Structure 1
Amino acid sequence: MTHEVSFEWRVVEDADWHSLPAGFAPAEPGHRTSGDRWLLVAALRAAVILSIAWLIPGATHQAPLETLPPTTGLAVLPVLEREAAAWQSNDLARIEPLLAPEVRFEWRNEWRTPFTLATAAGTTVEETVIAQTSHGDMVQVTLLVHAPTPWTLNAVTYRETRYYRPGEQSWLRTLPPPSDWGEEHTLETPHLRYQFRTRDTEAVLAILDRNESVYLLLHELLELDPSPEPEKLTIRIDPRLVSGWAYFGRIQPLTSPALARVPHGMSDADYLAHSIANRVTGLLLNQLTLDDKRGEQAKWQPLVWAINGWMRTDLQARRSPWHRRVETMLDRRRAELLPFHLADILDSPLPRPYEQRTFMHQYLLIESLVGYILTAYGRDQLPGLLAVLRDHGSWQVVPEMLLGIAPAEFEDGWNRFVATHYLGMP
């Protein structure tokens, strides 16, 4: 199947950012353990992040970048179109002439991924050029990309910065040279150490106090000693591609926002704050769960995505696209789906690949259940909720073990919450 890539050439003004289509990006894992234990850690991490999301700022509008002369923009635009068509064709003979020879394999694979996923899903990759700048003989193009990612079930919108240099016959996609990143710097706060290049200085300085607050609150919520270890946790912001699926220990590398896929609506500083909070939370939860042998296997992955939907609500004061989809589904199928019961939540993992109808139902159940607990009973319930999930691995025991109420009473309140917050009923 052939997929068309749509381009729209325009510079988005600061006041227009709120009207662009919103996307959703779950938090990337800070480490990996094995099997269901990793899913449990990921689920608990998402729950903790939800509780401290108010410390991470809401959407920060990006100031428009300085535009290049129209002739330069017109010269680069056809290259973007040819590049997208080449990636979708998966034809190396078409791809190679558009990439600079110095680009390493891992970056080529990273750039190919959205098109591969879109082809597999039968969808399209949509790219909107929003700004462009020049750096010597290099052109920097900022785009909004709407495409599937490895972290999500459906397509999301993110901001991506690309770099092109002149070739013999065409512009070639490349990466900024090492000289563009500037000198290495180190800054320390009472509990964290940051290593970064000059290019990322502004974003790092904007998050120092905020991350200290998050660090202390996470330790308080999880009842852990915040005193730094002999070697402080180091956040290293690198001009390289960093995998989210690795365990990094006390030195946590992150890809510079200048090279990352930044969720739509987030500034570079917000992106770093969000990513660092996820990494710190993952490390702390790993401390709590790695040696725990009592956790039962459960269907954690939908829980991770459901809580991330609520996290996005707190981060950007608007619902995720998934929330809007499940609202529509519930409105159309309310007679079939309501009332909700704890027994409706599957006790075993969903088979892969996920059947979307089943997945969205499970997502709706878990998202609404999480929202009800945090709204009706307060976020001070979070430590107890984490303990129940850690010890029992199931939502079925939450009403009695966490709240001391009968399941029937809990379900009654849960369904009233769903009627009010999902169906707009009084």
Structure 2
Amino acid sequence: MTDFVLLNDVAWATVGYEQDGIRYQRMQFYHLINGQWRRTAPDPVFWGEEKSLETRNLRFVYHARDEALVQKLSRWAEEIYSRAALEFNVGASPHLTFYIDPEPRPDSPLITEGEFHLASPELTGMRQDGELPIALSQKTAYNIILRLALEKSGTRIGASPHEPTIGPNWVVMHGVVYWLLDRLLPDNTAIPGLEARLHEAASSGELMPLSSLWPPYRYGSLQRSALALAEAHSMVSYLADTTDPGRIPVLLRMLGTTIKPSETMAALGLDFRQF
């Protein structure tokens, strides 16, 4: 604990910690109850007034306490948006809104409306070196990339992207999202896990046929679903990095049109039987 503010029976504490070699700090709130200090919900006084900031394609709704962070995040996120829109060749780009919440809430972004909720790093961890927290950068980039991928494909949904409901082609769609996430955010924590799962399956002879990346899905377990995502990421990386990155916008368009892998590959100028 590096700092402590006492206001009658309420206390704010700044707690420092280290993760993956990086120093962080976060706020914790306490309330004096029956002579004992107990963790409590964030104090509204701590956050200050609600504010908003708009860039060309993004809007951020936040509280005064997060002003400096949002200034930095907005510039970085706008660059991610511009690069993703260029990679996917998105025409009329949707305007997205991010809410920086002063208290934790269930993860349920409204993809269709382009609204996303992020917990304030004051609660989840601020880097002491002033850089954006990796978890915040990764989640912001993921949401932007996924929304633009859906825009290019013409897919419209309103559920959480962490469930298999991103249209019928959600596995390959996520392969595209993870491919671009890795390009735009090399220090992300998602791709190493996918690559490790793929290598493990390859060494044990458990790789699934590429046709299994398209509906109907019959994975039967979370482990098999994770392997499908790893294989989809590998396939999309091959298409983009080994053949032609211009195929990615075509792939996205086909993911919103057909659930047949042969038709998808034919649109890319490839024979699925020989792929």
Normalising to structure 1: TM-score of the pair? 0.47
Q: CA deviation at 1:383?
A: 0.9
* Aligned counterparts, 1:243-322, within 5 A: 243-247=106-110, 249=113, 252-260=116-124, 268=132, 271-284=135-148, 285=150, 288-290=154-156, 298=168, 300-301=170-171, 304=174, 308=178, 311-312=181-182, 315-317=185-187, 319-322=191-194
Is 2:29–2:43's contact at 8 Å kept on the other side of the alignment? no
Whole-angstrom distance in 2 between the partners of 1:233 and 1:360: 28
Q: 1:359 to 1:207 in 2, by over 3 A?
A: closer
Q: Which moved more, 1:317-326 or 1:159-168?
A: 159-168
Whole-angstrom distance in 1 between the partners of 2:103 and 2:40: 13
Alignment deviations for residues 308-346 of structure 1 (CA, whole Å, 9 cap, x no partner):
387357523475224223313322x2xx457x7534546
User: The residue matched to 1:243 in structure 2 has which SS?
Assistant: coil
User: The residue matched to 1:392 in structure 2 has which SS?
Assistant: coil
Is 2:172–2:214's contact at 8 Å kept on the other side of the alignment? no
Is 1:309–1:322's contact at 8 Å kept on the other side of the alignment? no
Is 2:62–2:101's contact at 8 Å kept on the other side of the alignment? yes
Identity %: 20
Whole-angstrom distance in 2 between the partners of 1:391 and 1:382: 14
* Aligned counterparts, 1:15-414, within 5 A: 68=2, 133-136=3-6, 137-142=11-16, 161=26, 163-165=28-30, 167=32, 168-220=34-86, 221-226=88-93, 233-247=96-110, 249=113, 252-260=116-124, 268=132, 271-284=135-148, 285=150, 288-290=154-156, 298=168, 300-301=170-171, 304=174, 308=178, 311-312=181-182, 315-317=185-187, 319-331=191-203, 333=204, 336-337=205-206, 341-343=209-211, 345=213, 347-350=215-218, 354=221, 356=223, 358-402=224-268, 404-409=269-274, 411=275
Relative to total residues, which structure has the larger strand share, 1 or 2? 2
Larger radius of gyration: 1
Q: 1:268 to 1:173 in 2, by over 3 A?
A: farther
Is 1:164–1:173's contact at 8 Å kept on the other side of the alignment? yes
Is 1:298–1:394's contact at 8 Å kept on the other side of the alignment? no
The two structures, once aligned, show a CA RMSD in angstroms of 4.0
Whole-angstrom distance in 2 between the partners of 1:286 and 1:384: 13
Is 1:203–1:272's contact at 8 Å kept on the other side of the alignment? no
Please name the residue that 1:102 is paired with. Answer: none
- Quick one: which amino acid aligns to residue 255 of structure 1? A
- Quick one: which amino acid aligns to residue 259 of structure 2? G
Q: 1:303 to 1:252 in 2, by over 3 A?
A: closer
Q: 1:302 to 1:224 in 2, by over 3 A?
A: closer
Normalising to structure 2: TM-score of the pair? 0.68
Show structure 2 runs of 5+ residues with no match: 158-166
Q: CA deviation at 1:391?
A: 0.9
